[in-house]
Amino acid sequence: MTTQVQPQAPAKADAPLAHASLSRRLKKYGWGSLFLLPAVLVFLLFLWVPIAKGIGYSFYQVDFVSGNTFVGWQNYKDVLGNPDFYTAIKNTLYYMGLALVIGFWVPIAMAIGVSELKWFRGPARIIGYLPSIIPAIVLYGMWQWFYDPIGPINTFLNFLGLPSFDFYSKENAMFSLVILETWQNFGSATLIYIAGLSAIPKDMYEAAELDGAGVWARIRYVTLPGIKNLILLLLVLQLISTSQAFQSQLIMFGGGPDNGTLTYLLLTTREAFTFFNFGKASAMGVLMFVFLVAFSLLTIKLRKGDDAA
C-alpha cells in the first residue's frame, strides 16, 4: 500500500516575516538614507545632469537665442578635422609626461625625508604645505615675476655669470608650468604620503635596523613597498588631473607662444567661451569623458590583476 503525500501550500507566515524584516531595515537605515539624500541630489544635479546635457548638446548646433539645431555627428567631424585638436592632444600628453617625470616624485621624496627626521617633523609638514594655500591670483603673479627676464631667477643666474633663461619661449613654456604646478601642489600630496607612511608597522623598521639595513635599504625594502598602492592611486589621480590642465596655461601664457601651451581643456574652453561653439566644445568634452572612463576602467582591471597575483 502506497501513501501519497499531498503538496503543502506555502506558509502564509512568510509574508509577515518579510514585512517585519523590511520594517527593521527601514528603521535601521532609514534615517541614514535621509541624511544621504541631499548629497545624492546635489551629486545628480551638478554632475550627472550636466554630463547628460553635454552629451546631448554634442549633437546640436547650440544657439540659446534662436534655438538649437540638430546636426548629428557634424560637431565630432569638425573637432577631428581641426588641426588645433591634435596640437592640444600632443601638448597635453607632453605636459602629463613632464609632470610625471619632474613633479610626481617630489612629494614622495619630501614625505620620506620628513618621516626620517628625528626633530622638526611638525614645522617641516607646515612649510611643505604652505604653497598649497596661496591664492591663485597671488601665485601666478609671483611666478610671472620669478620668470621675468629681469626677475630674481635670471638676476641670480647673471650674478653667477650664467646666461639668462627664457622661461617664456615655446620650448621652455611647458617646463616652466610644470615647475610652477609642482611647487604649488606637492604639499597636499606630501601629507597624504606621510599619512600612508605612518600606517607602516614600526616593527618592520626595527627588524630592518637589526638586520643592519641603512637608510636607503629601509626606504627600498620597507617604505616604498609599504606605500605601493598609495603611489599607484596618486599616480592615476595625477594623470587625470594633468590631462584636464588649463588654468595655469591660460593665465601664464594664454595657450602660447604659438600654441605651445594649448592643452585639450584649454582648447575646449576656448571653443565654448571665446567662439561660442558650445556644440563642438560639448563634443570635445564627450571625447575626454570617454577617454577618462576607459582609462579608469583599465586602471581598475590592472590593479585587480596585481591584487590577484
Indicate if 47 and 107 belong to the same structural domain.
Answer: no
SS3 percent helix, strand, coil of the chain, rounded to 5, is 75, 0, 25
pLDDT in tens, 185-221: 888 888 889 888 888 888 888 888 887 777 788 888 8
Q: Is residue 10 part of a domain?
A: no
Residue 113 neighbours by CB under 8 Å, 6+ apart = 124
- Say if residues 180 and 106 touch (Cβ distance below 8 Å): no
Domain count, the chain: 2
> 10-19, 32-41, 134-143, 161-170 — which is least confidently predicted?
10-19
Indicate if 176 and 296 belong to the same structural domain.
Answer: yes
Indicate if 141 and 95 belong to the same structural domain.
Answer: yes
Q: Name the nearest CA neighbour of 74 among 86, 57, 49, 53.
A: 57
Indicate if 52 and 121 belong to the same structural domain.
Answer: no
Indicate if 83 and 43 belong to the same structural domain.
Answer: no
- 221 grid coordinates: 625594502
- 163 grid coordinates: 646666461
Q: Is residue 304 part of a domain?
A: yes
Q: Domain end: 28, 57, 86, which one?
A: 57
Q: How many CA atoms lie within 13 A of 31 on its CB side?
A: 3
Q: How far apart are CA 305 and CA 309, in angstroms?
A: 6
Indicate if 147 and 224 belong to the same structural domain.
Answer: yes
pLDDT of residue 209: 80
Dihedral, 13, 17, 18, 19 alpha carbons, nearest 10: 100
Q: Is residue 217 part of a domain?
A: yes
Q: Domain end: 26, 57, 88, which one?
A: 57
Q: Is residue 36 part of a domain?
A: yes
- The answer, yes or no, to whether residue 15 has pLDDT greater than 60, is no
- 103 grid coordinates: 613633479
- Give the β-pairing of 60-61 and 69-70: antiparallel
Q: How far apart are CA 33 and CA 218, in angstroms?
A: 46
Indicate if 43 and 135 belong to the same structural domain.
Answer: no
pLDDT band at 14 (very low <50, low <70, confident <90, very high): low
Indicate if 114 and 257 belong to the same structural domain.
Answer: yes
Indicate if 231 and 296 belong to the same structural domain.
Answer: yes
- The answer, yes or no, to whether residue 307 has pLDDT greater than 70, is no
Indicate if 148 and 31 belong to the same structural domain.
Answer: no
Region for 200 from its dihedrals, namely left if φ exceeds 0, alpha if ψ lies in -120 to 50, beta otherwise: beta
Q: Is residue 287 part of a domain?
A: yes
Q: Is the dihedral of CA 188, 190, 193, 195 positive or negative?
A: negative
Q: What's the chain's Rg over C-alpha atoms?
A: 28
275/300: higher pLDDT:
275
pLDDT of residue 74: 94
pLDDT of residue 125: 81
Q: Is residue 115 part of a domain?
A: yes
Kind and range of the H or E run holding 178 = helix 173-198
- The answer, yes or no, to whether residue 94 has pLDDT greater than 90, is yes
Paired with 69 in beta bridges are 61
Residue 92 neighbours by CB under 8 Å, 6+ apart = 242, 243, 245, 263, 264, 265
Written as one letter, the residue type at 146 is F
Q: Is residue 135 part of a domain?
A: yes
Indicate if 50 and 112 belong to the same structural domain.
Answer: no
Mean pLDDT of the chain: 85
pTM: 0.82
Kind and range of the H or E run holding 61 = strand 60-61
- 261 grid coordinates: 601651451
- 182 grid coordinates: 609642482
Supply the range of the domain harboring residue 293.
75-308
Question: What would the mean pLDDT of 141-169 be, rounded to a whole number?
Answer: 92
- 242 grid coordinates: 594633468
Q: Is residue 12 part of a domain?
A: no
Tally of residues, the chain: 309
- The answer, yes or no, to whether residue 1 has pLDDT greater than 50, is no
Written as one letter, the residue type at 164 is S
pLDDT band at 95 (very low <50, low <70, confident <90, very high): very high
Indicate if 188 and 284 belong to the same structural domain.
Answer: yes
In angstroms, what CA-CA distances link 120 with 124, 195, 196, 215, 221? 6, 17, 19, 18, 25
Q: How far apart are CA 124 and CA 106, in angstroms?
A: 14
